[in-house]
A and B are shown apart, each in its own frame.
Chain A
Amino acid sequence: MLGHAFPAVLAAAARGDEEAFGTLWRDLQPRLLRYFAVAAPATAEDLASETWLAVVRSLDRFSGGEPAFRAWVFTIARRKVLDWHRRAARRATEDLAANGPVERAAPDDPAATTLEGLSTRAALAVVATLPADQAEAIVLRVVAGLGVDQVASLMGKRPGTIRVLTHRGLRKLAERLGPDRISGMV
């Protein structure tokens, strides 16, 4: 979050100022990568690049505050995910079935199975095992830092539905991660 600095940074970035753009990029790129890790694993970096290309091209036409900007960027990102799924639906299914997020979790890695050492990657891999809507809602709230209404708008659902999705998702995570169930995390 850039806070008060945001309007000036945005304006400069829209004019092509590289330092300003870099600030925006550093704030959002990790979030985008993590979002894609759950929504479109194995192609996160490509989709992030495509997202930034679209952002750069329309940056001087955007007007709004920081929360709106973040929502806008993730709207673009989500569209990239949907496009990708459409283009490669079969391949995506096969990938997940054959390798799944397990590949990223490295289940026999002690760091992945102790809570203190839980890596970002492992955490995202676990979330990716949830039903897609629950996973997406949780990631958009926790990683993208979007509010309920923004997530609702992005996913084309009602805010109440988003609350139910995240509630159920957390509950499922609790079922899988309970203190005596770590070995069953994968």
Chain B
Amino acid sequence: MGRRPDGDADPLALDGETVERLLVSELPPGQAPPEYAPVAALLAAMAAPPSQEELDGQAAALAELRTVTMTRAAHRPSERRRRRRVGLAAVAVAGALATGGVAAAATGHLPEPVRKATRSILVTVGSGEPASTLPPSASSTQPPGSGHAVQPPPPTAATVPAPGGPGVAAAASPGLKGLCGAYLAGKGAETGRKLNATAFQALARAAGGEGKVQAYCQRLQPPRPKPGNTKPKDPEKDPKPSDQQPGTHEHPGQRQGNPQATRSRSR
């Protein structure tokens, strides 16, 4: 494409816009560059309206739909209702877990609406396993700050992991847990400096702020013999409840009433 050495223009040269217009059927043969008139005709033929032959298999396709729908309805009568929610709920949960996961990390609970949606997705993804196989209300029976021993993979829409709690640990990737481990191991001195700046910033993002990393990481760790440290009572580190993500479910036993906590460590 372009000019040939002998100076003649390449007759088949095409600019990008003309290519594009040909491809979206905006250039009928009469309007295309002359050398491309046949091509324009060919493309038009490719995009011609459907033929009767091409539409022949509709009955068979509908029969297949019928089979799948009836099978689905027969096996799981309530499944269809739950499945309907998967599309929307899965997206909502994935989004909520990303933010609500932080709230969960701090409170030990998932926000109520997220918990419900998650439960319905777990039933769906479990391919019809009865709801009784789910851990009984995974979030609410867990004492705050006890963390989770199970470390399921991070959730994606419609593939939220089953038993083990869709809560705290599920919201954090294995990478974040590793960072938390390093962070907590190095704390005492200049905590933030034990990790390199990038890693610490990743933790801060997940926790919702540099001042919240401590509490966030504690939530992620398996139970530790640190009775007094199930935070956040420390007014310096305790973020104001209103700092939490919207929709956070405040657990009365958790916060020791620090609604106006001021943080001396500037964020």
Contact = CB atoms under 8 A, between A and B. Distances in A.
Contacts of A118: 41-42, 45
B65 A21 contact: yes
B64 A166 contact: no
Contacts of A56: 64-65, 68
A62 B23 CA distance: 28
Interface stretch (A66-74, A82-90, A120-128): A120-128
Interface of A: 13-16, 18, 21-22, 25-26, 29-30, 33-34, 45, 48-49, 52-53, 56-57, 60-63, 115-116, 118-120, 122-124, 126-127, 138-139, 141-143, 163, 166-167, 170-171, 173-175, 177-179, 182
B16 A167 contact: yes
A143 B16 contact: no
Contacts of A179: 37-38
B73 to A, nearest CB: 8
B74 interface: no
Contacts, number: 132
A63 B65 contact: no
- The prevalent SS among residues of A at the interface is helix
Interface in B37-68: 37-39, 41-43, 45-48, 50-51, 54-55, 57-58, 60-62, 64-66, 68
B37 A170 contact: no
A42 B64 CA distance: 23
A15 B85 CA distance: 12
B64 A53 contact: yes
B86 A60 contact: yes
Contact of B23 (A22, A52, A138): A138
Interface in B86-116: 86-88, 91
Given A29-B57, A142-B43, 16 more contacts: A18-B66, A22-B61, A45-B57, A49-B61, A53-B64, A62-B87, A63-B88, A115-B29, A115-B37, A119-B45, A138-B23, A166-B23, A170-B14, A170-B39, A174-B38, A177-B39
